[in-house]
Structure 1
Amino acid sequence: MSSEPTARVLLADGAVAAVRALGPPDTATVLALHERLSEHDRYLRFFGTGASRDDALAAKIATETGERHAAVGCFLRDELVGVAHYEVLDDSAYAEIALVVDASVQAHGVATQLLEHLVSIGRQHHLRVFVAEVLAENSAMLRVLADLGLPYELDRDGPEVLATVRLNPDDRYRRAVTGRDRAAEEASLAHVLRPASVAVIGAGRRESSVGHAVLANLLRSGDHARVAVVNPRTDQVLGVPSARSVTALADPPELAVICLPPPEAADAVEECGRSGVRAVVVISSGITGTPHEERMRRSIRRYGLRMVGPNCLGVASTEPGQELDATFLAGPVPAGRVGVVTQSGGVAIALAGALASLGLGISSVVSTGDKYDVSGNDLLAWWGNDRRTEIAVLYLESFGNPRRFTRLARALARTKPVVAVRVGTGETARSAAASHTAAAATPVVLREALYEQAGVIAVDSLSAVADVVAALSWQPLPGGSKVAVISNAGGAGVLAADACERDGLVLTPLSRGTADRLRAVLPSQASVSNPVDTTAAVPAIIFSEALRILLGDEGVDAVLVITVPTAVGDPQGALAPLLDRAAKTVLLVRPGQVERVKPVDYAPGRPATASYADVVDAAAVLAALSRYARWRHRPAGPTPETLDTAALRTVADLIPADANWLSPQQCEEVLKVAGFPVTASRYASTEDDAVAALETFGGPVVLKADAEGVLHKSASGAVVLGLPDADAVRGAHRELRARFGSRLRGVLVQPMAPPGRDLVLGIRSDAVFGPLVVFGLGGTDTDLVADHSARLAPVTATDADLMLDGLRSSDALWATGIDRAAVHDLLVRLGALAVLLPEIAELDLNPVRVAANGCVALDIRIRWERCAPADPLLRTLTP
């Protein structure tokens, strides 16, 4: 039996298991599982306790997965503890399922994990329905099916129930999967962040050593009785007795922190796994890229360990009664409401210091380092159930599972802000890309699409993190993007207005009533239009009253307040009581203040809002909060079921396995089945065939060369337009033959398209992020302007609207009166097509000609790669 799992997964109790497909080598193991069944479990499984052919059943279950059969097994420490399988019925879209789970792990989530994997396999094989015969008294199995989240029906007939489960994951299923993910992560990461006992392996007496520092922080932060030391070279460290090994401890610790050189660190992880330790934090560096890396990875897979690191700062939690500081930070971790996960230990140190300087603290911090196991995704799930965490901060240099990130971040951001630092945004478009879509789908575009769809507030620096977190901590989210600016320094107010407009905020006109009330309280030389200039000499109480009037304007969502002290007074002094009661977002700017951002206290330790030294920073924060608020209140929108899955798979299965760039005929067939409007065309292998095609269309035509190595037809001189008659067609054909010689396979003949606007739409599949849908200006504008928007597939109706409005030129584009609804439909269809046909590595529709009523694709290119589709709803851990 192979010991390599298909996936590492979390069970409901937080245990790490392996789920993989079963095959003939697993027959004996499957048989052993059935022979361990109790009489009661055998009765529920086989509807009786009589003799059964377990050996024949085991051989049947352990058949290789194919078109009509699939079986998956769940393993704990290499022992098979559960099996689920299906057999396709006469109707090829239906399959009967059966499950069996060892009594020792029933109610631990094994059955649910197996069913989720079976659903994924079934959908890959185009199954639509699972059926199961269940005894009515088998309440546990019926509850598993009901809680799965898929549409299901129960047909009761005496002592038996026929359960029907439909394999069309909808929003309810996604919510159910996310809920299970969060619950399992809470149980699993409790071993890391709420351990009942901790051992520091490698803590020494030398104060300058990392192990000594970690032990000192642990002793300072929590209960001394739960801390142990493993070091064979000393009897005690900091008063804690030292054991020679983990096995020498009276009881295995729940968490071990390893501070050893690479060879010894790998040995320690293996020993921890054998001894029953549940989680390890590996501080040690210099492991990745050496043989010790695979040794560590093998140990965490074999023993189901959770691992943070290696090459990390450690972990800390400030949960009352469960305080834990297993880091080598220089000072105590300040308690607070901000959760932090970072791949860089240095970034964790910087963020902890920045938050502490603002009087903000941390709920939990995890430095993932080289992240062999625990990653940002795990913490997103943890914070979803952690009431103490109100804001999440991420510093991620890479994404191990972007699909899971999207699902978890989107769910978390609906209730708690998620702030991420953009990292590695220096990539440029690949100039030699085979299609315009590929050129647009840079790593930067992929990451930005990921953040935008998940509602993540992305910033460009650690300083900007502090700016945003301060505002989120002390102010409500703005109700919109309409901003008023008030200042006692007119020049600063103008700078603020410019900064707001650059960041997409609207400097809203003030109502007549607001302007009249401002005139009544401000000096005559004041400006009561937006931005409001109160003049420098205005008393603090008058400035405060002017701000109160602005906050009462129904057309104002947020106010940027700029104050400078003068010889006659300081307007900021009277603002705190008003700010404390304000229901709208108010940020202050204090030009010249030493700190980049600081709290403005209403009372000691009770900040009313944030004050910024620069109007540019304050405007950027306000814009970020406005975009997040807009995302949060925007309905996610369902993913429409728009395509005929069976028909598409029939077409796809006819495409040869070694296909690369599809022929024009194959491209056209795929898009027609998907319901795309495609221009009429005829493929002509000869000059006479081209003339015959002209006669079919009966009007001016276009000839497009199908030549080996030619992808960008217009740029290669492979398109001849406006050919009115046979002589013109023959001349154009000879011209193309002369230009491309033996590379010319044939020509595509199409009628001239009606006038309209040219757009480009496409799909680009990424091995890590999955398929991306791209939209932008087409035709010659594609290269000249490079104005694009993008979303990861699938594309919801809301996503499509945002894409259509996401170009720099969107306002001007739609003002021309072209058919927006038709393009919207194409974007949604493209997203569905990308998911249903993962073999599409690139799809380029350029141009799509859009008129006042409808649109049509004039040129199609598809690059094909055989691949196994990734299921974004599988709850798998990073390998």
Structure 2
Amino acid sequence: MESDLSYPDHWEADVVLSDGATAHVRPIRSDDAERLVEFYARVSDESKYYRFFAPYPRLSERDVDHFTRVDHDTRVALIMLVGDEMIAVGRYDRTRAGEAEVSFLVEDGHQGRGIGTVLLEHLAQAARERGLHRFVADVLPANRKMITVFVEAGYSVDDHFEDGVVHVEFEIVPTDHSLQVMAAREHRAEARSIERLLTPRSVAVVGASRSVGKAGQALIRNIKDGLDQGFTGRLYAVNPEATAVAGVTAYPTVREIPGDVDLAVLAVPAEAVNDVVLECAAKGVRGVVVVAAGFAERGDPEGRARQTELVRVARAHGMRVVGPNCLGIINTDPQYALNASLASVVPPRGRVGLFSQSGALGTAILSDGAARGLGLSTFVSAGNRADVSGNDLLQYWRDDPATEVVLLYLESLGNPRKFSRLARRVAEIKPVVVVKGGRSTQGVPLGHTVRPIEVPPAALDAMFRQSGVLRVDTISEMFDVAQVLAYQPLPTGDRVGIVGNSSALCMLANDAVVAAGLDVGCDPVDLGVTASAEAYASALADLSARTEVDSLLVVFAPAVDASSSEEVARVLADASSSGNKPMVTTFLGIRGVPEEMRRFDEHGVPRRGSVPSYPSLEEGARALAHVTSYSAWRRRRHGHVPDLDDVDPDAARRHAEAVLATAAGNEAIDLTTAQTMALLAAYGIHPLPVIAAHSLDDALAAAEQLGGEVVLKATASHLRHRPDLADVWRNIDTAEEMRDAWQTLSSTLADPAEAGFVVQPMATAGVPVAIWAREDPMFGPVVSFGISGVATELLEDRAYRIPPLTDSDAAEMVREVKAAALLFGYRGGDMADVAAVEDLLHRVSRMSDDLPELEGLELNPVLVSETGLAVVNASARLARPAPRPDWYARRLA
């Protein structure tokens, strides 16, 4: 068992295969000997020949011992398991410095499921950890599947025919192309896994009950109702004490159901759930929905252990889990008409996909949506979010033709870095609206087995904006925005035209539009209290034709002798359907889409042109403002990640490793000035030189060595960045001035030994800015920017982004802080070299993205002049990194 002493348990991973099923990847162990022998016996002679280049019908004891005893360094092997059965093995053996030979063997019945590519990703990740950068392999020419695995991995493959075999070589350092290929595979697999849950052809309700008020009774009746609405699949009840439930044939156990079961909905007590999941595994069920409570949300070890075991068993046998402690799932497509939830009120069919982490809140969310007439395509309540998460639904909804708008109620983010990447890809083609619960505390609800977010709320907001996500504060506001997105076109600008039948309301509408951050394109059109439907039609036609109007806010209040509301509603709907500018209304104080203002497609689904209404002008204007900001994001150029010269990531990694080698255990290390300089130099960042001055003589010698004007300053943490700037003495040009500075600072600040005095060249005058980077356990790297000084700290006037930064990201960061005007000649000041600031942001972004060891970095101040910048102070902190949540290998959280 000596090879297991250094067993790298962080290489273990649950993965999704190309068909949407799950499996488990882990390093091989010496106790896998019997499992390996059984696996090898199931492999065909042809596959064995391809692997060993000769007939190899069975493994000898020596072979088994050799293959199962590895050192997890020069010899690494990863196996893939479904249940307790090995279905594949991949391995590499180091051949020389930086290089290893890689090979795979996949059981024939499981070939074609993307197993080889998954194992290659995880082997490459392990190899990079061990200092390798290249894989080689010899493949028989007839083994086209294996050659394809290498070629389609996204790496630049060099292959040539040599001595009867194809010799393959490729670098395993991640590239933009290889990451794009991996992300595309991940997208297809995870989307497929959700599709299997939402489009079952057979459903079993385990715990189906004949007692009114029981969850099992509600579930069986809700699913059964779908049989009358178009669902053509099979429905089974599982109840050991009944032959039928709600008219549905019942069976004692899942395993005794005669047909296949795609989806199992579990309404059994928490303590029985894991036994039922094992039965589902034996039956070949593809996914489970667990509505029962009694898991990690209890907050005790027993509940957490039960939830962990639920996910482990389900994933090990190829199943995804919705829940536990959830409301369920809904698919309104008539082909499935699936309401596998506890919700008695379900919104009509529509174009909105809705995800809610809260089961308890899910019922209220669905009721609100139904009351507004907002139609849904699909709904998933994740409850404790033990497995299926919002990220999975983003993967599915991106390509789902039935979903045009995505709504997410999130209480926690298991992988914010991945969420940012996925949300951005979705937002490029479909709007994503998010309500984030717990914003004020950044806490995590009981039951959600993720760490709390440590970055400030402003950083979370910045991540949403960077990804094109619309973050709103309440569920009501989420639906307000969704009504516009689902039924109205996107505006091409921020100018609003107002029309109404009340001068007072038109004036209030004007104020509401301005308060929401929009512009009023022209004077409001007051039709008067006696306005007819024809007057509305004429005014709307005129406003819609104006180039200075991008969207419309219509006010209708009942008045004596006014046209009937039905006639006005028809006019509004007709104008909206025939126009290309979004319209929102305050129509009789109605919230939602009034029946008279709905327009339906051939399937009876409300289509674009239906007009949303709001009880107040402020709500309508606010919803329009959110949609306008999203439209602007869609139109805006998002830029590219620029190439940087004078960057050497390998040198930085070697330097970081050398520093951390001196650390005791896993403690973090604050770098010395020289160490910080060396680390930054690897990314083309060169702070002004600094010479320590422990005495006046040291200071005089340093000034002479540096030449020209210098500064004397204190570097002790409690003395730096004082508001009165008393920690720095500038413009020292002579020995006498240095003596005066030394005496004054020593007497007013602290003893020189305590103050940490240094001498530094005098930088060119400029605007002081600051750049920070930190490694967050959940987000990974986060970069922030602000004008240096006390005001920035007190007012939190910082811009945040998640690397890598595009050129547009960097430009927006510099300009979005409130004090940015100081960089652009405020009150007669000089124009700062903003391009140099953006370049520095890119270098810090690249550095923090490359080096998970970089726990923290601060460049403060950086003086930005008209023609460049000078990094005056720099500090860095390194620590042994935990694996980032978004590895270069696919894995489930």
TM-score > 0.5, shorter chain as reference: yes
Counterpart in the other structure of 1:759? 769
Counterpart in the other structure of 2:276? 268
The one of 534, 542, 546 equivalent to 1:541 is 534
Distance in 1, matches of 2:627 and 2:219, equals: 37
Distance 1:272 1:36, change over 3 A: closer
CA-CA distance at 1:395 after TM superposition:
0.8
The one of 670, 673, 690 equivalent to 2:682 is 673
Do 1:181 and 1:875's aligned partners in 2 also have CA atoms closer than 8 Å? no
Matched, 1:481 2:489: no
Distance in 2, matches of 1:640 and 1:120, equals: 25
Residue type of the partner of 2:814? L
Distance in 1, matches of 2:101 and 2:548, equals: 60
Counterpart in the other structure of 1:650? 654
Distance 1:564 1:866, change over 3 A: same
Distance in 1, matches of 2:631 and 2:695, equals: 60
Counterpart in the other structure of 1:822? 836
Percent identity over the alignment is 33
Identify the range of structure 1 (776-785 vs 394-403) with the bigger mean alpha-carbon deviation.
Answer: 776-785
Residue type of the partner of 2:636? R
Matches within 5 A, 1:392-541: 392-427=406-441, 442-508=455-521, 529-533=522-526, 540-541=533-534
Residue type of the partner of 2:149? V
Counterpart in the other structure of 1:436? none
Distance 1:247 1:538, change over 3 A: closer
Distance in 2, matches of 1:81 and 1:791, equals: 42
The one of 342, 365, 382 equivalent to 1:328 is 342
Distance in 2, matches of 1:428 and 1:224, equals: 44
Residue type of the partner of 2:406? A
Counterpart in the other structure of 2:450? none
Q: Secondary structure at the match of 1:218?
A: helix
Distance in 1, matches of 2:738 and 2:366, equals: 72
Q: Secondary structure at the match of 2:832?
A: coil
Do 1:30 and 1:62's aligned partners in 2 also have CA atoms closer than 8 Å? no
Counterpart in the other structure of 1:634? 636
TM-score, normalised relative to structure 1:
0.88
The one of 791, 813, 816 equivalent to 1:803 is 813
Distance in 1, matches of 2:385 and 2:509, equals: 42
Matched, 1:601 2:597: yes
Distance in 1, matches of 2:792 and 2:709, equals: 26
Counterpart in the other structure of 1:343? 357
Residue type of the partner of 2:764? P
Counterpart in the other structure of 1:781? 791
Residue type of the partner of 2:688? T
CA-CA distance at 1:579 after TM superposition:
1.8
Matched, 1:382 2:384: no
Q: Deviations over 1:296-330 (max 9, x none)?
A: 24423443432111111111212222222111112
Q: Secondary structure at the match of 1:97?
A: strand
Matches within 5 A, 1:697-776: 697-707=706-716, 710=718, 712-714=720-722, 719-722=727-730, 723-730=732-739, 733=742, 744=754, 746-776=756-786
Counterpart in the other structure of 1:63? 70
Matched, 1:577 2:592: no
Q: Secondary structure at the match of 2:670?
A: coil
Counterpart in the other structure of 1:200? 205
Counterpart in the other structure of 1:242? 250
The one of 30, 44, 52 equivalent to 1:38 is 44
Distance 1:764 1:659, change over 3 A: closer
Do 1:217 and 1:332's aligned partners in 2 also have CA atoms closer than 8 Å? no
CA-CA distance at 1:217 after TM superposition:
0.9
Do 1:23 and 1:65's aligned partners in 2 also have CA atoms closer than 8 Å? no
CA-CA distance at 1:46 after TM superposition:
3.3
Distance 1:780 1:98, change over 3 A: same
Do 2:721 and 2:789's aligned partners in 1 also have CA atoms closer than 8 Å? no
Counterpart in the other structure of 2:446? none
Counterpart in the other structure of 1:556? 549
Q: Deviations over 1:112-146 (max 9, x none)?
A: 11122233334445655444333333221232233
Residue type of the partner of 2:777? A
Distance 1:454 1:235, change over 3 A: same
Counterpart in the other structure of 1:21? 27
State the superposition RMSD in angstroms. 3.3
Q: Deviations over 1:20-58 (max 9, x none)?
A: 334666567557655654332233223444799974697
Distance in 2, matches of 1:574 and 1:114, equals: 61
Q: Secondary structure at the match of 2:613?
A: strand
Residue type of the partner of 1:183? R
The one of 295, 308, 315 equivalent to 1:287 is 295
Distance 1:149 1:554, change over 3 A: farther
CA-CA distance at 1:389 after TM superposition:
1.7
Distance 1:135 1:626, change over 3 A: farther
The one of 589, 607, 610 equivalent to 2:586 is 589
CA-CA distance at 1:680 after TM superposition:
2.4
Number of equivalenced pairs: 845
Residue type of the partner of 1:445? A
Distance in 2, matches of 1:684 and 1:63, equals: 54
Do 1:441 and 1:764's aligned partners in 2 also have CA atoms closer than 8 Å? no
Do 2:97 and 2:132's aligned partners in 1 also have CA atoms closer than 8 Å? no
Distance 1:267 1:492, change over 3 A: same
CA-CA distance at 1:650 after TM superposition:
1.9
Distance in 2, matches of 1:764 and 1:307, equals: 34
Q: Deviations over 1:610-629 (max 9, x none)?
A: 22232222222222112212
Q: Secondary structure at the match of 2:463?
A: helix
Q: Secondary structure at the match of 1:82?
A: strand
Residue type of the partner of 1:836? D
Counterpart in the other structure of 2:107? 102
Q: Secondary structure at the match of 1:774?
A: strand
Do 1:120 and 1:871's aligned partners in 2 also have CA atoms closer than 8 Å? no
Distance in 2, matches of 1:81 and 1:716, equals: 68
Distance in 1, matches of 2:510 and 2:100, equals: 63
Distance in 1, matches of 2:848 and 2:75, equals: 26
Distance 1:875 1:339, change over 3 A: farther
Do 1:409 and 1:454's aligned partners in 2 also have CA atoms closer than 8 Å? yes
CA-CA distance at 1:109 after TM superposition:
0.9
Q: Deviations over 1:777-834 (max 9, x none)?
A: 2123322442111111221222212222322343564345111111111122121111
Distance in 1, matches of 2:516 and 2:77, equals: 54
Counterpart in the other structure of 1:121? 126
Distance in 2, matches of 1:810 and 1:565, equals: 48
Distance 1:500 1:807, change over 3 A: farther
Q: Deviations over 1:377-396 (max 9, x none)?
A: 11111222322122211111
Counterpart in the other structure of 1:683? 692
Distance in 1, matches of 2:75 and 2:507, equals: 70
Distance in 2, matches of 1:821 and 1:638, equals: 15
Counterpart in the other structure of 2:267? 259
Distance in 2, matches of 1:484 and 1:469, equals: 21
Distance 1:684 1:673, change over 3 A: farther
Do 1:178 and 1:407's aligned partners in 2 also have CA atoms closer than 8 Å? no
Distance in 1, matches of 2:543 and 2:267, equals: 58
Q: Secondary structure at the match of 2:274?
A: helix
Distance 1:704 1:664, change over 3 A: farther
Identify the range of structure 1 (496-505 vs 52-61) with the bigger mean alpha-carbon deviation.
Answer: 52-61
